[in-house]
Structure formats: structure tokens, C-alpha cells
Amino acid sequence: MANEQEASIRRRDELVEQLKSRSRSKRQEASHGIAIMARANAAFMLEVADDLVMALELPEAQTRWECLDALSEIALIDAACTREAFDGAEEALFDEGSAAAHLSAFRFLARYGSVDPEASRRAWPLMREAIQCYHGDPEYREMLVCLLEFARGSISPEVGEGLIERMRFDAQSGTGFYRAYSKEICSTLQKA
């Protein structure tokens, strides 16, 4: 058991070190491995959260979105250690060339914002803008899933009211998954 844990720590640390490689492909491979590890055990990645935040400044979109995916998992258990990722998430959210980066940034903001009212107030303005920008885009369906998770979190009452207002039109007049998710989001917030 101790050998397995030591091997996992060694592997995690190797991947984090590989994020500093001059090779774009090695950084992308490392970030993918890190995202997988974070999904399996986010607590195990707490020690390297600062390194993942630093990786959000790297030029390739895949490295940034994979690190944001890992930070999204970490935010659910310790949002405070992901606070510094906020600026990198904002840049990725509006990255002109990567829908995957938009979605990963949105997921991070939703998870970060769901942990407490103050975090929700910080995340909501960017999320509201992204809802407007990406409504109708292919990644918007998954963004609605993130919004439902956000709505179920510990968000502030004023953010909840803002989210209901933003979702109201699709809840009443939308079709398909737009309507279904928007209605569920509104219903979740009205029960709270």
C-alpha cells in the first residue's frame, strides 16, 4: 500500500514537472494525466494546485483546459486553494479559439462559485456574461449542466435571483434541453 502511494506521488510530481517542459506535446500529455488523477482523487492534488494555476498561463489551450478541469475537481473540496485560478479561468472563458477552454473555465467558475455565497458573487458576473455569449453554441448544453450544479450549491440569494432572471425566458419559451434545464434550474432555486 505504501509503495502504491509513493508511486502515485512520484507520478503526480513527474506530471507537474512535465508541465514546465519546453515541449508543447509533453505539457499537453502531462495536463491530461493530471486531469485524470484529479477526477480519481482531487484531495491527492491539493498539494499541486498552485502549479496547476501557474499552468493556466501556458499558451496551448489543451493544457489550460485540462488544468482547469483538475482545478474544478479540487474546488469542490477546497475552493480556497483554487482562488488564484480565477484570472486564468476568466481568460480561458473568452479564449476566441477554444470551445473546450470556454467550457472548462465555465465548469471551474460554477464549481468554485457553488461553495459559498461570497464565491458565488465573485463567479456570477463572468458566468452571466458567458451564458449570453455562448447561448446556442454546442458547449452550451454542458454549461447548463454546470449551472444546475451551481444552483444546487451554496450561492447567495441575489445570485440565485439573477440566475432565475437569466433562465426565465428559456424556462418559459425555450425548447428541448434548453427549456428542461432552465426550468430545473429555476425550480431548484425557487425551492431554496
**Whole-number average pLDDT of the chain:** 95
Q: pLDDT tens-digit profile of 92-150?
A: 999 988 999 999 999 999 999 999 999 999 999 999 999 999 998 999 999 999 999 99
CATH topology of domain 2-191: Leucine-rich Repeat Variant (1.25.10)
The model's confidence at residue 2, banded by pLDDT at 50, 70 and 90, is: confident
Q: pLDDT tens-digit profile of 14-48?
A: 999 999 999 999 999 999 999 999 999 999 999 99
Q: What angle do CA 150, 153, 156 make, to 5 degrees?
A: 90
SS3 184: helix
pTM score, whole prediction: 0.95
Give 123-128's long-range contacts (Cβ < 8 A, gap of 24+). Answer: 123/86, 123/150, 124/155, 124/159, 124/162, 124/163, 126/89, 126/90, 126/93, 128/162, 128/166
Q: pLDDT tens-digit profile of 76-87?
A: 999 999 999 999
Helix (H) or strand (E) holding 108, with range, is helix 99-113
Examine the pLDDT at 192 and tell me if it is beyond 90: no
Calpha distance 13→30 (Å, rounded): 10
So where are the chain's domains? 2-191
